[in-house]
């Protein structure tokens, strides 16, 4: 064992001596391999758990267990996260964006496995979420931690994080091109010569692992018909519907989750969510798990079996009933997904977005066909609806186009895919400028963007720029005491802090020049008599854009920093911000 560890150490030393570009390229291959293996593992373990729990069902009475299974999975996940992981691992893609923008692209080591474990239990037991966001978080964590192991700089840590995310998408969907586009469009990595090759290597490697271990078939088989130019206007209608559907999906998800968060007791929240989810799944079986089986049936124009509930056997063949049934499925999917995540489960919105997109495509196609105006192929609309909804919810039209083409083999529908995706994106952008992944970060001012200037500002952390070498004075100090303090200080600014450590004012050297050499004032004048209120105050942890706005409005070059209890922390200077900005911009732009 010791000999093996010694060999590993030797290999690492050899790798560290490689030129930077060669090292990053080699590590991108390793990250792609590990991400692909992680994706295959997660996919298989989810299916194994689901099969173990449901393969023996034969009667409707046994299917009553659908009321229990999802809640049980959520409870197991809740206990694992709360008592083993002891960290928040939900909303994986949002967490990756946060790591890039606020944590120097560093992700904790446990995220290389914790999200996979929690999400496999959640989804395997029927939680109504997707496995894609957890595997993206896992892949990104693998890339980040491998880069940190080799002590790479921020730019290369971010690049390998992106390689891990790209490999995860490529591996779980067998879609290498979509993996690259996902990283560039959603994680917002810059497309440069130094980044595109590692991303390609990682994506192709992960997809190859997935093909080797899972076979050559696409993720979703379908019975689509050739593209018909006469259907073009109806794909535009579908795109508009997906845009408004994406708006509902995004805002309803955030609203429901925020409402459920107000239930502070996690076990009480779990009970409420478990009961709600169990009832929804019992009434609408397509909400069970990822829902991909029902989606595949819709892609084969088999809407009756896609509904799959013995409660409705007598009316399942009724065209109108099926339409209403899937309208309800579309509406309640947001609730089932939010119940799962808020009740302790771990999963993402990626899979649910594809599912509701396919349902939306079916609904629009069925309505068009029932109207008698025109006849459209329902399977085609299901496939294109997946892209339209994904484009709207994630604000990622390119990812939607290439992913759906790759996972369904629907390359013959590229024009409808592009048309619906673009229409959906334009529609939702008129009402919501942030995606479901970025809205929470944007509200806190922590969102990195494709605007490099704004991205650099976002990544600057005011807490790391605080200067604390200022001599503190008390409001009760005399001028004589202040002069003695001034003689030992190298600063011309003095924070005035009371006995409770709260900032009450500042004294500037310029303000006392006229009296500092007049000994008559030394005992008569107190600091409280000459101090001033600062023009503005920065709160520790405040986002950099807000800090710069305060500098701009106040005209100051230095502003005091306080914590959330108004206690004095230090000062932040405009010059230090500009210096850090230049260094960060140079690091991001370095090729």
What CATH number did the domain enclosing 515 receive? Answer: 3.10.580.10
In the 8-state DSSP scheme, what is residue 471? P
How far is the C-alpha of 1 from the C-alpha of 12, rounded, in Å?
17
Q: What is the pLDDT of residue 360?
A: 96
Clarify whether residues 491 and 448 are in a common domain. no
Which residues are paired to 502 by β-bridges?
Answer: 567
Clarify whether residues 422 and 532 are in a common domain. no
Q: 457, 277 in Cβ contact below 8 A?
A: no
Q: Is 322 exposed, middle or buried (0-12, 13-18, 19+ CB in 10 A)?
A: buried
Q: Is residue 3 part of a domain?
A: no
Clarify whether residues 72 and 206 are in a common domain. yes
315 Cβ partners below 8 Å, 6+ apart? Answer: 321
Q: Is residue 222 part of a domain?
A: no
Specify the DSSP element, H or E, that contains 417.
helix 414-429
Classify residue 86 as left (phi > 0), alpha (psi -120 to 50) or beta. left
Q: What is the pLDDT of residue 451?
A: 53
Clarify whether residues 193 and 298 are in a common domain. no
Q: What is the pLDDT of residue 81?
A: 93
Q: Is residue 6 part of a domain?
A: no
Clarify whether residues 465 and 437 are in a common domain. no
Q: What is the pLDDT of residue 54?
A: 76
Q: Which residue segment(s) compose the domain that 104 sits in?
A: 12-214
And the tokens for 387? 């892209």
Q: 168, 139 in Cβ contact below 8 A?
A: yes
Mean pLDDT for back-to-back runs of 10 residues, the chain (591 residues): 50 64 90 95 92 70 74 94 90 85 85 93 92 92 93 87 94 92 82 80 95 83 84 95 96 93 92 93 88 89 76 64 91 95 91 94 94 89 95 93 87 91 95 86 65 63 85 86 82 87 86 74 81 89 83 87 89 86 66 50
- What is the 3 state secondary structure string of 489-557? CCCCEEEEECCCCEEEEEEEHHHHCCCCCCHHHCCCCEHHHHCECCCCCEECCCCHHHHHHHHHHHCCC
Q: Is residue 73 part of a domain?
A: yes
Beta 558-562 vs 538-539: how paired, if at all?
parallel
Clarify whether residues 52 and 101 are in a common domain. yes
Clarify whether residues 481 and 436 are in a common domain. no
Tell me the residue length of the chain. 591
Q: What is the pLDDT of residue 381?
A: 95
295: CATH: 1.10.3080.10
The count of structural domains within the chain is 3
Q: What is the pLDDT of residue 61?
A: 47
Clarify whether residues 82 and 198 are in a common domain. yes
Which residues are paired to 562 by β-bridges?
Answer: 539, 568
Listed residues 399, 426, 452: the one ending a domain: 452
Q: What is the pLDDT of residue 464?
A: 84
Clarify whether residues 235 and 180 are in a common domain. no
Q: What is the pLDDT of residue 162?
A: 92
Clarify whether residues 482 and 393 are in a common domain. no
Q: In what order do the strands lie in the sheet with 568-573?
A: 538-539, 558-562, 568-573
């Amino acid at each position: 064992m010791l000999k093996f560890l010694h060999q590993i150490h030797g290999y690492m030393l050899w790798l560290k001596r490689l030129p930077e570009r060669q090292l990053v390229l080699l590590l991108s291959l390793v990250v792609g391999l590990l991400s692909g293996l992680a994706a295959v593992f997660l996919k298989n373990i989810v299916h194994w758990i689901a099969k173990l729990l449901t393969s023996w069902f034969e009667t409707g009475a046994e299917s009553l267990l659908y009321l229990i299974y999802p809640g049980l999975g959520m409870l197991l996940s809740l206990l694992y996260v709360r008592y083993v992981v002891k960290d928040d691992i939900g909303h994986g893609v949002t967490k990756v964006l946060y790591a890039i923008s606020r944590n120097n692209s560093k992700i904790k080591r446990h995220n290389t496995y914790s999200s996979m474990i929690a999400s496999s239990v959640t989804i395997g037991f029927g939680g109504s979420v997707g496995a894609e966001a957890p595997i993206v978080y896992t892949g990104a964590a693998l890339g980040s931690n491998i880069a940190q192991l080799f002590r790479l700089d921020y730019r290369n840590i971010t690049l390998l994080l992106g390689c891990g995310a790209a490999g995860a998408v490529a591996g779980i969907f067998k879609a290498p091109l979509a993996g690259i586009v996902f990283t560039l469009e959603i994680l917002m990595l810059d497309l440069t010569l130094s980044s595109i090759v590692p991303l390609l290597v990682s994506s192709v490697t992960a997809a190859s692992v997935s093909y080797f271990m899972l076979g050559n078939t696409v993720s979703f088989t379908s019975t689509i018909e050739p593209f018909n130019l006469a259907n073009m206007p109806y794909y535009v209608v579908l795109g508009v519907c997906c845009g408004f559907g994406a708006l509902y999906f995004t805002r309803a998800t955030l609203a429901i989750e925020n409402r459920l968060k107000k239930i502070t007791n996690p076990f009480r929240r779990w009970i409420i969510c478990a009961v709600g989810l169990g009832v929804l799944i019992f009434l609408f079986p397509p909400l069970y798990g990822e829902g991909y089986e029902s989606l595949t049936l819709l892609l084969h124009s088999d809407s009756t079996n896609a509904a799959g509930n013995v409660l409705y056997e007598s009316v399942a063949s009724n065209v109108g009933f099926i339409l209403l049934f899937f309208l309800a499925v579309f509406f309640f999917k947001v609730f089932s997904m939010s119940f799962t995540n808020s009740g302790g489960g771990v999963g993402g919105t990626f899979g649910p977005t594809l599912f509701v997109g396919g349902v939306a495509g079916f609904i629009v196609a069925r309505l068009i066909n029932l109207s008698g105006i025109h006849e459209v192929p329902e399977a085609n609309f299901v496939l294109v609806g997946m892209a339209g909804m994904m484009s709207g919810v994630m604000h990622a039209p390119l990812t939607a186009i290439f992913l759906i083409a790759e996972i369904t083999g629907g390359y013959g529908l590229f024009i409808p895919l592009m048309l619906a995706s673009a229409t959906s994106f334009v529609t939702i952008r008129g009402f919501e400028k942030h995606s479901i992944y970025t809205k929470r970060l944007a509200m806190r001012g922590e969102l990195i963007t494709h605007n490099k200037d704004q991205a650099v500002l976002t990544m600057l952390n005011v807490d790391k720029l605080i200067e604390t070498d200022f001599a503190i004075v008390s409001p009760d100090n005399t001028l004589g005491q202040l002069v003695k303090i001034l003689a030992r200080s190298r600063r011309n600014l003095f924070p005035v802090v009371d006995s409770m450590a709260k900032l009450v004012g500042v004294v500037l050297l310029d303000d006392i020049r006229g009296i500092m050499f007049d000994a008559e004032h030394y005992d008569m004048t107190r600091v409280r008599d000459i101090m001033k209120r600062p023009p503005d105050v920065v709160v520790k942890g405040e986002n950099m854009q807000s800090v710069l706005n305060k500098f701009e409005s106040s005209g100051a070059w230095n502003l005091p920093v306080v914590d959330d209890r108004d206690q004095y922390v230090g000062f932040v200077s405009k010059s230090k911000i500009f210096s850090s900005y230049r260094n960060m911009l140079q690091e991001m732009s370095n090729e």
